[in-house]
Amino acid sequence: MKKKPPYRVLVIDDSAFIRQFLKEIINQTDELEVIATASDPLIAIEILKKTPVDVITLDVEMPNMDGLDFLRYLMKFRPLPVVMISSWTQDNSDIAVQALSLGAVDIVAKPTLGIRSGMEERKEEIIKKISMAAQAKVNRFPLPVEPVGASLLPPVHQGPTITTDKIIVIGASTGGTVALTEICRELHPNVPGILIVQHLPAMFTPSFSTSLNQIARIQVKEAADGDRITPGLALVVPGGNNLTVRKNGAKYIVKTGPRLPHSIYNPSINHTLHSVAKVAGVNAMGIILTGMGDDGAAGLKEMREKGAYTIAQDEKSSVIYGMPKKAWENEAASKQVPLSKIAQEIHRWAGIKN
């Protein structure tokens, strides 16, 4: 049987050490091979004109053109999977979220101290994310825009003054930030309360929540312990934490907790879905979006068994058809839906007419 050729990697970083380090660890694998490196995006553009490339690693701060400007150019003229590898901090985490919204498949944080030892510790994460990204489907991404007439939109729900007996839970991983942006942009202001479980490191979920709040007609915020689930409000589970839903009379309350020692995913989609299945039953809707792995399949299965309406994103519109595939094969999802139709499916289930 003929061996599959390795995925071709282009490394773009202004640090000679990072370029050499990435080249060495990538070339130690059988499935990846660095075919070129570039110290800035302008050099990378020239390489791309004459060299076939399957996946790119990209820094943000570089001479001549920064990483975000290059990403905009790339996604407009030659879309390719990109893993952002940069020195993210709490202060610039919004740049990482912006990179994901522009079409980057994933992000890796460079260490801010002890660069060599820190990069050594991240070797496995880097290889895993590049390998996964190389298999992703990437389309041309239009530049993010504000909703037309945003200032004239109905006011969002500002506080937990209304109770609801319906809950929507959306789980996502790789490619999920873009998918969630598209869904939230279309949601009606009176949609039932939503929980969003997106696999993201803790430093990025506040910025991601803010970015969703800016484009949506509903209110979006990072979940805090004790928050109520109410119409017109979406709560994003904090990175590195987990969220359990509890019933208090007619109200649904969220309980945030630490990492689960038995789970490789934190936040865990399964954990939240299992809790919703127990307290909401037929009054819940579960959605699994694009992502690698199987997180969410078991929890969605329990939701369906308790009478909830469950769907998964279809293969064609998924960046990575991993989690939705598992949910479908596991008979956890009753239906597969294209990304462009998911908001419409939510409205139909909730009885909302646009």
Catalytic residue among 199, 227, 274, 314: 199
Are residue 82 and residue 208 in the same domain, yes or no?
Answer: no
145 part of a folded domain: no
Q: In this predicted model, what pLDDT tens digit does every residue of 247-280 receive, in sequence order? A: 988 899 999 998 888 888 899 999 999 999 999 9
Residue 106: predicted pLDDT: 94
Read off the pTM. Answer: 0.87
Is 347 marked active-site?
Answer: no
Q: What is the mean pLDDT of the chain?
A: 91
pLDDT: which is higher, 77 or 163: 77
pLDDT: which is higher, 19 or 165: 19
Catalytic residue among 173, 209, 211, 318: 173
Residue 342: predicted pLDDT: 98
Are residue 68 and residue 167 in the same domain, yes or no?
Answer: no
Based on DSSP, count helices (H) and strands (E) in the chain, helices before strands.
12, 14
Residue 140: predicted pLDDT: 59
Q: In this predicted model, what pLDDT tens digit does every residue of 147-190 receive, in sequence order? A: 433 333 333 434 333 334 799 999 999 999 999 999 999 999 99
* Residue 19 lies in domain: 7-134
Q: How confident is the model at residue 90 (pLDDT cuts 50, 70, 90)?
A: low
Are residue 129 and residue 211 in the same domain, yes or no?
Answer: no
Is 173 marked active-site?
Answer: yes
Q: How confident is the model at residue 141 (pLDDT cuts 50, 70, 90)?
A: low
What's the total number of domains in the chain? 2
Is 263 marked active-site?
Answer: no
Catalytic residue among 40, 227, 295, 314: 295
Are residue 161 and residue 271 in the same domain, yes or no?
Answer: yes
207 part of a folded domain: yes
DSSP for 88-104, please give it: --STTHHHHHHHHHHT-
Identify the CATH number of the domain in which residue 88 sits: 3.40.50.2300
172 part of a folded domain: yes
Residue 96: predicted pLDDT: 92
Identify the CATH number of the domain in which residue 179 sits: 3.40.50.180
